[in-house]
Structure 1
Amino acid sequence: MPVKAKLAAAWASLMFLYIYVDYLALYKPGFIDTLRGGTVHEFDAGPTFVAASLTLMSVPTLMILLSMTLPARVNRVVNLVVAALYIPVTVFNMAGEPWKYAYFYALSIGLELLIHVFILRSAWTWPRRAASPAVGLDGEALRAPQQV
């Protein structure tokens, strides 16, 4: 499988995980009441919070597209930088959560960190040579199309 596809799939998986964690958090008792009261995890849910949240989630969303479209050398660097920067963001998401939800957040953050590590590893080990006409990037010989 091409590295670009692996990276795009990893970023898409990360976004699905973000969505489900946020959705399932709505089921915590009192969470919707605090949302209606204008706070999210101790933060004022005003325009600044909403804009910051959108910005924070826009980057991984754009990484799905960028992973498929950027040239390999730039793609590798961008994925390494963004994944590395998002590791502290991921860990910070557990700040201020009550201990009774520790398993939920530890599991979700653990999964998110595993995906980040996969992205970092995939980008770091990206083959630094172009495929030759006879051998693909996966090292397997390419077959000539059969003529009928």
Structure 2
Amino acid sequence: MSIRYKDAGEGDDALIAEINTTPLVDVMLVLLIIFLITIPVVNSSIAVSLPREPNQARETQVDNAIVTVDANGALYWFDAPLADRQALARQLVRIAVMSPQPELHIRADARASYEAVGQVVFSAQQLGIARIGFLTEPPAR
């Protein structure tokens, strides 16, 4: 006895030797639509046009106060060294009560720690000094 298979072209139940790609195409189209919808959400950012202006050098006024922070974190009021943070606070209190209030300019060494400069800014903010600026040098051309 032997088993006999029908030929491929025989009858209604003929074997189909092709891959059905319809489900694959359906899944791929759904994934494509999902990616097209989610990509703009991932890349969202607020587009702004920032001004392009060169820094303008301003002359320091006589009544502006200058605090210098050197590379080691030592503080100076103009050119006079300050013993500690309390000495800085005493100087800042003097200019905080003036009317009109002078600007506080901070000259910090590029190697100075962020903490030392941050403490000067924090002290000035606590005492109500409204105008704080940083003195820099223009880049070499």
Name the TM-score class by shorter chain. under 0.3
Higher relative contact order (CA 8 A, sep 6+): 1
- Greater helix proportion: 1
TM (norm. structure 2) is 0.26
Who wins on radius of gyration, i.e. which is larger? 2
